[in-house]
Structure 1
């Protein structure tokens, strides 16, 4: 039998170990999803699939907002079969992100954030006002990311200016910037900027985690 290069390299190639995928796509169904019977059926299918692949694991299933309401009603109606200790029901990533952005909008309403975006020519008045309601998720997310970055830069500039304005005879070991953020935010502009930036960063982290499927 002749030895050829293809057979030689094939004999030296290591077999690829099959990786188990942590997620799976169930087959689509043609029936209307917005019914209790269909939601119960989908929850049963998910429970059986998870139990077959990983016995003892609590299944996690995500729904859009209307279907999430039906799933929660099913959990309350039949707690022995579909209770929270048997299956975890949660919003999808988009709805989690929208809820986080709307919460940030409620906090920022009347704070002058919209006017600051308009004066900085980041967005028009109508677009900036829509950021409070998270009408457009991608634009709202970008606006909060830009705001968090701007506040972070302003905080560092304020802290550096604070250190330079101190007289040499009164200079001492200044606290780290991260430590100073926890001080009285009503009298320290540096701490106030840090608190505002931290709020934006927390909101942006929730949005990023929801996109990655972590929350």
Structure 2
């Protein structure tokens, strides 16, 4: 200590509790008294006053400081939002900006709908971090597979299922047209393209 210290020795440091304010922490008078006390101490020691609050108290303290006169000592206060609530606010901003982009539907494939709402507004921090990491990983996998031509596992099976589903839908439409024509509900004189539609549909099915 003596090797790195310059100037007069400041003396032994002490750590002690500051006076307690016998009021509710959310009371505006309590917050104002705290801000004033800290500003007075900062002025005495010629330092910048810095205070950290959680989200509800931060909002009230900021309101008090903003409503003070320009020459008030409270204007020198540096108000900080706590780390956890800063993270919650950041995650909530992502959910707000990305709303209606399909992120909710994607997350509902993993989480329950109620959990997704908490993820998007930043309340469920741990789940939100995991959810955004999963989405980021999935997007990077898709981009990488498209750039380098790498097949994503399971993609072929999904594509085949989609093709089979489309074929089944085509055959169903052809069968409906044929049934309506056979029962006399529609006639070729009213719509000359019906038989051509059936023919083209069946040819497409056979060629595929």
* Structure-1 separation of matches of 2:121 and 2:61: 26
How far off is 1:117 after superposition?
A: 2.8
The answer on whether the counterparts of 2:35 and 2:74 sit within 8 Å (CA) in structure 1 is no
**Corresponding residue for 2:93?**
103
Matches within 5 A, 1:20-169: 27=18, 29-50=21-42, 55=46, 57-75=47-65, 76-84=67-75, 86-119=76-109, 122-161=110-149
- Name the TM-score, length of structure 2 as normaliser: 0.52
CA RMSD of superposed structures (Å): 3.3
Higher Rg of the two aligned structures: 2
* Structure-1 separation of matches of 2:44 and 2:145: 57
**Corresponding residue for 1:211?**
none
* Structure-1 separation of matches of 2:42 and 2:93: 34
* Structure-2 separation of matches of 1:25 and 1:72: 27
**Corresponding residue for 1:203?**
none
How far off is 1:52 after superposition?
A: 5.7
The alignment covers a number of residue pairs equal to 138
Mind listing any 5+ residue stretches in structure 1 that lack a counterpart? 1-13, 19-23, 163-215
Mind listing any 5+ residue stretches in structure 2 that lack a counterpart? 6-14, 151-208
How far off is 1:65 after superposition?
A: 3.1
How far off is 1:138 after superposition?
A: 2.0
SS in 1 for 2:100: coil
* Structure-2 separation of matches of 1:151 and 1:139: 18
Cα displacement string for residues 10-48 of structure 1 (whole angstroms, at most 9, x for unaligned residues): xxxx99x99xxxxx8954544222233322221233334
Q: Which has the higher contact order (CA 8 A, sep 6+)?
A: 1
* Structure-1 separation of matches of 2:126 and 2:103: 18
Summarize the Cα distance change of 1:113–1:69 in structure 2 as closer, same or farther, 3 Å threshold: closer
How far off is 1:79 after superposition?
A: 3.5
Summarize the Cα distance change of 1:25–1:63 in structure 2 as closer, same or farther, 3 Å threshold: farther
- Name the TM-score, length of structure 1 as normaliser: 0.51
